[in-house]
Amino acid sequence: MDVKPVRVAAISSGKGGVGKTSFSINLAEALSRAGNRVLLMDADFNLANVHLMLGQTPDKTIADVMSGRCSISDTLLPGPASVRVVPGVRGRGLADIGCNSLLSLIQSVDELVGEIDILLLDTAGGFQERDMRLMAAASDVMVMLTPDKVTIADTAEYIRTLRQQYGVQHFNIVTNMVRGQRESSQLMQALQSQVGFDYDLILRHVGTLPYDTAVRKASDSARTWLQTDPDSKVCRGIQAIADAMNQQMRAYYPRGGMTFFFESHILAGGC
Ligand SMILES: Nc1ncnc2c1ncn2[C@@H]1O[C@H](COP(=O)(O)OP(=O)(O)O)[C@@H](O)[C@H]1O
Ligand SMILES: [Mg+2]
């Protein structure tokens, strides 16, 4: 069978409130509009927000999948454009999940292989063992960074930990809530200098999203930024990231093989 490979992009950060969920939803929409079959999974095991931002009321969630009560297809909700959403759980429902449950969640996506081109994971970010393993298992690690001292320091620590303890080498950095390219470049320089020099660690700046009061307001409605304000700079920034990912998909994800999670990275060492 000619199975189309699945690219797994996980969106994370060293610190909360930096725009991961908003970005994940809008990136999913942009990739879907470009003709990709996108699955957006709410993999924030602390405080799932995707369905809230989209105004959805899930019937079944990833908790039902993990406990074997249903399959992943039973959870799917229609998202923006043709995105399909796997909703998560809020509160302590998944507080104690370990690597085995995580692995079974990941493996449950196998039933959709051949039906999706890219799996986007909106994660909790941060230093919890299972969240770090999830990042290590993804084919693309995207890290969101905002311009304040504490976030820069936390992000540098986050990246060093993923590199040193989990072997992640490539980091795609999205600078968010910045006041222009100059601040964005300064932010990248500050991050690079705090991460320190390492031949095998690559920080790639993949896009800049400006601070935008309009999108902040749009977050209160169930509509995405791309729907409410498609010509805004922040939407143009998201579009540029989606275009670049789209081009890479054509170049690096040829038909005929299957790229998926590096499952062994989740179980390595146990957790
Ligand atoms: N570029 C931006 N400009 C203005 N507000 C933003 C921007 N990106 C995110 N936000 C706002 O920041 C808040 C946190 O965003 P969210 O996506 O929930 O972050 P996280 O998932 O990292 O916790 C939300 O109110 C969101 O609307
Ligand atoms: Mg979030």
Q: Which ligand 1 atom sits closest to the C-alpha of 209? A: 1
pLDDT tens for each residue of 67-102: 888 999 999 999 999 999 999 988 776 777 777 787
pLDDT tens for each residue of 168-196: 999 999 999 999 999 999 999 999 999 99
pLDDT score, position 268: 61
Q: Are residues 7 and 140 in contact, defined by beta-carbon separation less than 8 angstroms?
A: yes
The dihedral over CA atoms of 109, 110, 115, 120, expressed in degrees to the nearest 10, equals: 40
CA of 103 to the centre of ligand 2 (A): 21
The pTM assigned to this predicted structure is 0.93
Q: Which domains does the chain have, with CATH numbers?
A: 7-264 (3.40.50.300)
What ligand is nearest to the CA atom of residue 229? 1
Could you give the C-alpha distances from 194 to 160, 204, 207, in angstroms and in order?
9, 15, 20
The per-residue pLDDT of the chain, averaged, comes to 88
Encoded tokens for 188? 């990248």
CA of 228 to the centre of ligand 2 (A): 20
Q: Which ligand 1 atom sits closest to the C-alpha of 53? A: 18
What ligand is nearest to the CA atom of residue 12? 1
CA 207 to CA 244: how far, in whole Å? 10
